[in-house]
Structure 1
Amino acid sequence: MSEALINGLAGAAGGIVAQLITYPLQTVNTRQHTERKLKKASDEDLENISEKKLQKHHGTLHLMCQVIRDEGWCRLYGGLMPSLVGTAASQGIYYYFYQIFRSKAEKIALDRRKNGKGDGSVGMLSSLLVAAFSGCLNVLFTNPIWVVVTRMQTHSKVQKRHLHAKDDNSTHLITELPATSTTDIFVPQLTEVHHFGTAHVVQEVYDEAGLMGFWKGVMPTLIMVSNPSIQFMLYETLLKRLRAKRALNKPGLQSISAVEIFLLGALAKLGATVTTYPLLVVKSRLQAKQQTGSDNAHQYTGTLDAIAKVIHHEGLSVLYKGMSTKIVQSVLAAAILFMIKEELVEAIRKMVSRNQKLIK
């Protein structure tokens, strides 16, 4: 069994576990990305407390409780099955090609050392390129899965809001707001729509844009390859320095504990997430179902168009909306993934060494 396959399988398993643990935070974060300010339905009569509440952006815990209250616990896991498939595929493909490219980079470094150039170790730039190439292949293969997942995460049982006039005796639907209203209270009423599954989402995306619809958001996603590139560059660098320091203090001892791997993974992911977060918001906006109607403020034709419209209509700060949620989710997921992956890699290696027949 090759090192690339071992790392691919371990990465896929670690990714699945991390996804299961952190998925509710991912769902909430995707909704934060795609949440938009509601347009005014009419004149100043709508500027009341209820309407302001509708337009107010809430924090992570508030939004999570709101989803549970209005739609049930299951909505926090909307799109979980295709997401697990996507995670297994993404991590497996990424680690498989990462190990292949990494091995080639190490061979080149050793050849350079024989020629009197370098110390034989893979440099920071080479690590960055290895992660970037692996990430690009991963994106091209798995983007259709994440388009489906984003649609399912942002689909809500409660999608339509109507204003009802409530008095002491009855509550009735208002189709046209009265010229003046001093005694009635306008209360937002929720209209429930049915869930839809993976097959429905696939058909919806295809009907909207054909096969190319499954590669929506691929450009910002390809640019975001720099995220795992930065992450793994930081991780490999920190890990290398820790092992060197450990060997210097205790010669012959370079083993790193699972807790240390957890902390190194968390620190690496933190730095990468803060750097590339705005691209994640744009990607989610492009992959989510586009709003239709006469207003084109929330209809995007591409990456640059989405960035321009978000900044113009909603402000620059929206590109960092929900970043705290993403930091918690991504850092925790990455730390769990690295810890489990390293443990599984060692376990598989030991198993293979005991049974040489498994080695190809």
Structure 2
Amino acid sequence: MSDALINGLAGAGGGIIAQLITYPLQTVNTRQQTERDPKNEKKNLGTLQQMCQVVKNEGWERLYGGLTPSLVGTATSQGVYYYFYQIFRHKAEVAALQQKMLGVGDGSVGMLSSLIVAALSGCVNVLLTNPIWLVVTRMQTHRKDSSKALSGQKLSDATEQTTLSAVERPPYGTSNVVQEVYQEAGVLGFWKGVLPTLIMVSNPSIQFMLYETILGKLKKRRAQSKTGSNGVTAVEIFLLGAVAKLGATVVTYPLLVVKSRLQARQAKDGDKKQQYKGTLDAIIKMIRYEGFYGFYKGMGTKIVQSVLAAAVLFMVKEELVNKIRSLLAKGASNNVKRKLM
């Protein structure tokens, strides 16, 4: 099994576990990002308060709305990303060694090369998985959008409960979203928000650049110590992943908000200021009607969710990589013993 495949499988496994742990935070954050009414009282609620409100009004299951396609997307994204990251990383390492033989550099992959490797891997990942994340965004925001359709309407007590039940709890699965998006914009509709998402490739690029740089320096310092060991513990990997993701999230968060706005269902008969024709139109309208605050809605929630998810991901991935390599080495050793017997 190739090292790229090992890292791809480990990344997928780590991504699934991180997603399961942090998904309720992700759902609340998506709703915060796509809230377009600056006067909405929900903006004054904290993350835990909003989670409690969702549970109270819509049930526990809504915190996990879109979980199935999200898990598919996470496994696919992490698998694709780590697979291509390892391939591009290997090519960068080979190029660095060739440069060293020519008397240029020390043979290690520099920060710029690490950034380029992460960016290329991210671009491949975005282009292949954007339709999945569009479906997830629609499902995470579906209930809120549906309930908003009733705002301002005066319903009689006799019909209010029936109407709310019919509107707020329709069957709305992956197939419904796919049909809805296709009817809106055809096949290209599944790549809504792809431009800001491609620009957001800088997020994992910055994240992995910081992670690899700090990890490399830590291992080098350990190797130069008296013990001569360059091993890194799972807890240290957890903390390194958290620090790297924190830095990347702060820089790129506004792009994430724009992407979520574009991927959420557009109000067909609503206020024009809440309808976006594209990335530039969304940015202009957000600045005009919401100010720069709009680009940072839910940032606190996102930092907690992203940092926790990234930390868990890195920790689990490294452990899985070590376990898989250990099992493969053990299997190879047993095969050699059988042949000798």
Tell me the TM-score normalized by structure 1. 0.87
RMSD between aligned residues: 2.2
Residue equivalent to 2:207? 231
Instruction: Describe the SS at the equivalent of 1:158.
Output: helix
Which residue matches 2:18?
Answer: 18
2-structure distance, mates of 1:274, 1:142:
23
Q: Is the Cα contact below 8 Å between 2:32 and 2:43 reproduced in 1?
A: no
Match of 2:317 among 325, 335, 341: 341
Check whether the contact 1:164–1:173 (CA below 8 A) recurs between aligned residues: no
Q: Which has the higher helix share?
A: 2
CA distance in 2, matches of 1:53, 1:164: 19
In structure 2, distance between residues paired with 1:256 and 1:289: 45
Letter in 1 for 2:256: L
CA distances 1:147-195 after superposition (whole Å, capped 9, x unpaired): 0000000011634224559xxxx96999xxxxxxxxxxxxxx9664224
Shift of 1:357: 9.0
202 and 67 in structure 1: CA distance in 2 versus 1, 3 angstrom threshold: same
Pairing partner for 1:62 from 39, 49, 58: 49
The residue type paired with residue 158 of structure 1 is S
CA contact (8 A) 2:207 2:244 kept: yes
Once the two structures are TM-superposed, the CA of residue 60 in structure 1 deviates from its matched residue by 1.1
Match of 1:88 in 2: 75
In structure 1, C-alpha distance between the alignment counterparts of 2:157 and 2:26, rounded to whole Å: 37
Distance, in Å, in 1 between the alignment partners of 2:226 and 2:273 is 61
Cα distance in structure 1, aligned partners of 2:269 and 2:153: 20
Q: Classify 1:309/1:358 alpha carbon distance in 2 versus 1 (closer, same or farther; 3 Å).
A: farther
Conserved? CA contact 2:16–2:74, under 8 Å = yes
Cα distance change on mapping 1:259 and 1:294 into 2, 3 Å: closer
CA distance in 2: counterparts of 1:358 and 1:332, whole angstroms: 39
Aligned residue-pair number: 328
Match of 1:112 in 2: 99
Distance 1:306 1:77 in 2: 27
Deviation at 1:250, TM superposition (A): 2.9
Inter-CA distance 251–357: structure 2 relative to 1 (3 Å threshold):
closer
2:268 match: 292
Amino acid at match of 2:111: M
Q: Which residue of 1 aligns with 2:196?
A: 220
Distance 1:334 1:66 in 2: 27
C-alpha separation between the residues in 1 aligned to 2:226 and 2:254? 43
1:253 aligns with 2:242: no
Change (3 A) 1:56 1:227: closer
* Distance in 1 between residues matched to 2:294 and 2:243, nearest whole Å: 25
Match of 1:317 in 2: 293
Query: How far apart in 1 are the matches of 2:282 and 2:214?
Result: 36
Instruction: Select between 52-61 and 9-18 the one with higher mean Cα deviation.
Output: 52-61
Q: Do 1:217 and 1:284's aligned partners in 2 also have CA atoms closer than 8 Å? A: yes
* Structure 1 unaligned blocks of 5 or more: 39-51, 175-188
Q: Which of 56, 60, 84 is the matching residue for 1:97?
A: 84
Q: What's the offset of the Cα at 1:294?
A: 5.9
In the alignment, the residues of structure 2 paired with residue 358 and residue 275 of structure 1 have an alpha-carbon distance, to the nearest angstrom, of 49
The C-alpha deviation readout for 1:85-141, integer Å capped at 9, x for no partner, is 000000000000000000000000011111111000000000000000000000000
Letter in 1 for 2:215: L
Q: 1:55 to 1:351 in 2, by over 3 A?
A: closer
CA deviation profile, 1:235-257 (whole Å, cap 9, x unmatched): 00000011111112234300000
- Shifted more, 250-259 versus 324-333: the winner is 250-259
Cα distance in structure 2, aligned partners of 1:190 and 1:313: 30
Residue 151 of structure 2 corresponds to: 161
Structure 2: gaps spanning 5 or more residues:
336-341
1:207 aligns with 2:183: yes
Preserved contact between residue 163 and residue 173 of structure 1 (Cα < 8 Å): no
Alignment partner, residue 150 of structure 1 = 137
Contact 1:162 1:190 in 2 (8 A): no
Separation in structure 1 between the aligned mates of residue 24 and residue 333 of structure 2, nearest angstrom: 42
Render the CA deviation track for 1:54-77: whole Å, top value 9, x for unaligned.
Answer: 575422112111111110000000
SS in 2 for 1:155: helix
Give me the whole-angstrom Cα distance separating, in 2, the residues matched to 1:35 and 1:61: 17
- Paired-residue identity, %: 67
2 CA distance for matches of 1:56 and 1:163? 22
Counterpart among 216, 221, 224 of residue 240 in structure 1: 216
Say if 1:356 and 1:55 are closer, same or farther in 2 by CA, change over 3 A.
closer
Distance 1:73 1:284, change over 3 A: same
Q: Which protein is richer in strand relative to its size?
A: 1
Question: In the TM superposition, what is the alpha-carbon distance from 1:292 to its structure 2 partner?
Answer: 1.7
SS at 1:292's partner residue?
coil
Residue 86 of structure 1 aligns with an amino acid whose one-letter code is G
Q: CA deviation at 1:293?
A: 1.9
Aligned to 1:32: 32
